Amino acid sequence: MQDELFSVAGQVVVVSGGSRGIGEALAAGFVQRGAQVIITGREAATIEKTASDISTGPLPAVPMVCDVAQLEDIDQLVKGVVSRFGRIDTLVNVAGVNKRKKVETFSPDEYDFILNVNLRGLFFLSQAVGKQMIAQKSGTIINIDSLNTNSPLKGVMPYAISKAGVSMMTRGMAAEWGEHRIRVNAIAPGFILTDMTNKLWSNPTMQKWGNDNTPLKRLGRVDDLVGTAIYLASQASAFMTGQVLYVDGGMSAGTLWPIEL
């Protein structure tokens, strides 16, 4: 049975940072459900390959270069999508970078690199797409947030600052743009195995810690996030905006004891 409530078929969906990891999985999830997906990233060859790999649905995914740290790229992307497809129904803000270091060792360049992509890039891409959504009087934005948004993990301070900002943008843009029928929500994933995190989680001590401290007793997979993204883009969440949904195997629900009671 095809459930219209959860349908994203025919939607024009832009995924920033769609070349691999979470962005690739979310893009593939939308393609499989009949959306017209545009995946973006910094390198043409990389996103062309990913677009070809995930094009298993009725509408092939289209690659368009956009470094979210470059305002001209954002402008070109939005103009390119609108001139080719006429509108943007859903923006999925996935592009993100991280560096693990002690607070006292971050250089200004490293700090700027992280904030420029995760925070400034997300703000100005949302702004550019938001203008189009205001004009078309509809749209949905889905931000990829993090567990770091509330309580920072050790060694990722600039990243945690950026993700706290993503939560604020989720609520703030939802509040300002509700009158234009634009909904803005976020997914805060738990620990998901991707190229960004593989090095950390290949450490057996970390793996045991992650499995033991997640109520569902495993680390996340990129596909674990697809259902929530489809829900947030579809009519099923029509009255939901400004919310951060944790998809983390229960990690944020409570603290587990290391001993049997």
User: Binding residues for ligand NAI, per CB under 6 A?
Assistant: 16-17, 19-23, 41-42, 67-69, 94-97, 117, 121, 144, 146, 189, 191-192, 194-197
Taking the complex as a whole, the smallest distance from the CB of residue 255 to ligand NAI amounts, in Å, to 19
Residues constituting the chain: 261
Report residue 12: phi and psi, to 5°.
-95, 115
Residue 111 designated active-site: no
Give the dihedral of Cα atoms 55, 21, 208, 190; nearest 10 deg. Answer: -100
Side chain identity, residue 37: V
Taking the complex as a whole, the smallest distance from the CB of residue 3 to ligand NAI amounts, in Å, to 27
- Compute CA distances 71 → 1, 52, 239, whole Å: 43, 27, 32
Report residue 85: phi and psi, to 5°.
-115, -10
Measured from the CB atom, is 24 or 89 closer to ligand NAI?
A: 24
Cα 174 to Cα 240: distance, rounded to the nearest angstrom: 10
Report residue 220: phi and psi, to 5°.
-85, 160
Taking the complex as a whole, the smallest distance from the CB of residue 222 to ligand NAI amounts, in Å, to 7
Measured from the CB atom, is 4 or 187 closer to ligand NAI?
A: 187
Measured from the CB atom, is 54 or 117 closer to ligand NAI?
A: 117
Measured from the CB atom, is 95 or 232 closer to ligand NAI?
A: 95
Which listed residue (111, 159, 231, 246) is catalytic? Answer: 159
Taking the complex as a whole, the smallest distance from the CB of residue 118 to ligand NAI amounts, in Å, to 6
Residues labelled as active-site residues: 159
